Amino acid sequence: MAQDKAKPDVTATTSATIAGGADGAVTDADSQQTDERAGWSREEWERFASSEADRRVTQALKQKETEYKTLLSDREKTAEEKLKAYETQLANERARAVFAEQALENNVSDIKAAWAVAREYGLVSDDQVDWSELRERHPSLFAQRKQTSAASAPGDVNGQPPDINTLLRRAAGYGR
């Protein structure tokens, strides 16, 4: 069973570069290695994704902890300067968190890019974001919703799903 197997080592990846000709032949000897992840089951992928997310969060927390320790151990700064620097970092992190929450509500497709653009143009101030200005300047940052019917039939974009009678008539060649 997939759950009884040990998690495969994901650090072993191929380092092949494809230098093949027009027929697609690969000439690099390293390309003969296979990526073990290709045969993973859904459960193995979910475990990997979960452990990777945990690893990234832990790494980010350790990095922040190291930054704060460095800030507090700096002997050239007074306690007041250290406190102001810490408060500035904390305010930036809070603003980023609020931005991320609001970005999800505003259908932003790339939150990191939107954060960088909003800060570059000065569209973020006191936990408020000028979403209309950001949408106007960079519409590609926002997810475009496709309007389809419940049956996802081509041309059904009126917002109301067709009833079964309409679908049967169309399939039989009658009606609209």
pLDDT band at 117; cut points 50, 70, 90: very high
3-state secondary structure of 32: helix
142 forms bridges with which residues in the sheet?
Answer: 108
* Rounded Cα–Cα distance for residues 174 and 155 (Å): 16
Please give the mean pLDDT across all residues of the chain.
74
Reply yes or no on whether the pLDDT at 95 is more than 80: yes
Report the candidate in 101, 102, 110 with the shortest Cα–Cα distance to residue 131.
102
Q: Look at phi and psi of residue 161 and say left if phi exceeds 0, alpha if psi is from -120 to 50, else beta.
A: beta
pLDDT at 29 over 70: no
Question: Quick check: 101 pLDDT over 70?
Answer: yes
The count of residues in the chain is 176
pTM for this structure? 0.46
Angle at 89 between CA 88 and CA 91, to 5 degrees: 65
pLDDT of 45 higher than 70: yes
Q: What is the mean pLDDT of residues 22-49?
A: 66
Report the candidate in 4, 8, 30, 3 with the shortest Cα–Cα distance to residue 17.
Answer: 30
Whether the pLDDT of residue 121 is over 60: the answer is yes
Report pLDDT digits (tens) over 132-171: 999 999 888 887 765 555 555 555 555 566 678 888 888 8
**What is d(CA 37, CA 4) in angstroms, rounded to the nearest whole number?**
16
Mean pLDDT, rounded, for 32-56: 80
Cα diameter, the chain: 84
